[in-house]
C-alpha cells in the first residue's frame, strides 16, 4: 500500500527486475484503474486489491478488500486482511475503491457540515441525531478514534475521482480538505 501512483511506479521499477516468472504483485494502493493497468505492463502479474478501512480494521483483520484480476492465485493472502470482494477484471477493484472512498469522504464532510448547521440551529447534539439517519456510517467514521486517514490522502483520493468526472460537490470537498492547516490530521478533523 503506497500513497500514490508515483510511489507505486518507483517501487515497481525497483522490484520488477527481481520478480520471478509466475510471481504476482498485489497492488493495494488507492491509485485508480489506469495506474493499475499501467503497472501490469511492467511486472509479470498483478492483482489490484485496495482496501476499505483504516489501521483499526487492519489490526483486527476486518478490512474490505476490493480485488480485481486473477484473484484466485492470491486469495489466501488477501483473506488475511479481511473480507475479499471479487470485483472483476484487473482495475475493477481500483475503480470500486475510487467510488466508495469518495462516497465515504463526501458523506463525512456533509455530516460535519450538517452537525455545524444543527449546532447553529440550536439542535442538541446534532451529530447524535445524524447518527440515527442516512449518514450513520459517516458519523461513525467521524467518531472513529483508531482510524488514520490523513487529509492529504483524502484530498488525493478525491482528486482521482475528479480526474475521471467533473463533480462540483467533490471539488468543494477537495478544496475544504486542502485548506486544513494540518494535512496529516485524520479525516475526522473536518468536524472542526
The domain made up of 96-191 has a fold known as 1.10.1040
Structure confidence at residue 190 (pLDDT)? 81
pTM of the complete model beyond 0.75: yes
Rounded mean pLDDT of the chain?
94
User: Are 31 and 91 in contact, with CB atoms under 8 Å apart?
Assistant: no
Q: How confident is the model at residue 189 (pLDDT cuts 50, 70, 90)?
A: confident
Average pLDDT over residues 28-33: 96
Residue range(s) of every CATH 3.40.50.720 domain in the chain = 5-89
Q: Could you read off the pLDDT of 119-176 as tens digits, one per residue?
A: 999 999 999 999 999 999 999 999 988 888 999 999 999 999 999 999 999 999 999 9
Any idea what DSSP says for residue 121?
Answer: T
Fold for 5-89, please state it.
Answer: Rossmann fold (3.40.50)
**How many CB atoms are closer than 10 A to CB 154?**
27
**Pair 36, 8: CB distance under 8 Å:** no
Domain with CATH 1.10.1040.10 in the chain: 96-191
pLDDT of residue 192: 67
Q: Is the pLDDT of residue 36 over 90?
A: yes
Is the alpha carbon torsion for 185, 108, 136, 82 positive or negative?
negative
Q: Are 90 and 23 in contact (CB under 8 A)?
A: no
Closest by CA position to 97, among listed 48, 172, 30, 144? 30
Q: Is the per-residue pLDDT at 188 higher than 70?
A: yes
pLDDT of amino acid 107: 97
Amino acid at each position: 500500500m503506497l500513497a500514490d501512483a508515483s510511489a507505486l511506479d518507483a517501487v515497481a521499477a525497483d522490484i520488477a527486475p527481481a520478480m520471478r516468472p509466475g510471481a504476482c504483485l498485489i497492488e493495494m494502493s488507492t491509485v485508480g484503474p489506469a495506474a493499475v493497468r499501467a503497472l501490469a505492463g511492467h511486472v509479470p502479474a498483478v492483482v489490484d486489491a485496495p482496501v476499505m478501512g483504516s489501521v483499526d480494521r487492519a489490526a483486527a483483520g476486518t478490512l474490505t478488500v476490493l480485488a480485481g484480476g486473477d484473484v484466485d492465485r492470491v486469495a489466501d493472502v488477501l483473506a488475511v486482511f479481511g473480507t475479499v470482494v471479487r470485483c472483476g477484471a484487473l482495475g475493477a477493484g481500483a475503480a470500486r475503491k475510487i467510488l466508495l472512498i469518495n462516497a465515504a469522504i463526501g458523506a463525512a464532510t456533509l455530516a460535519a457540515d450538517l452537525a455545524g448547521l444543527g449546532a447553529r440551529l440550536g439542535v442538541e447534539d446534532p451529530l447524535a441525531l445524524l447518527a440515527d439517519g442516512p449518514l450513520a456510517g459517516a458519523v461513525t467514521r467521524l467518531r472513529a478514534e483508531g482510524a488514520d486517514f490523513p487529509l492529504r490522502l483524502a484530498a488525493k483520493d478525491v482528486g482521482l475521482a475528479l480526474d475521471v468526472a467533473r463533480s462540483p460537490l467533490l471539488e468543494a470537498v477537495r478544496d475544504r480538505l486542502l485548506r486544513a492547516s494540518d494535512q496529516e490530521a485524520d479525516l475526522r478533523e473536518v468536524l472542526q
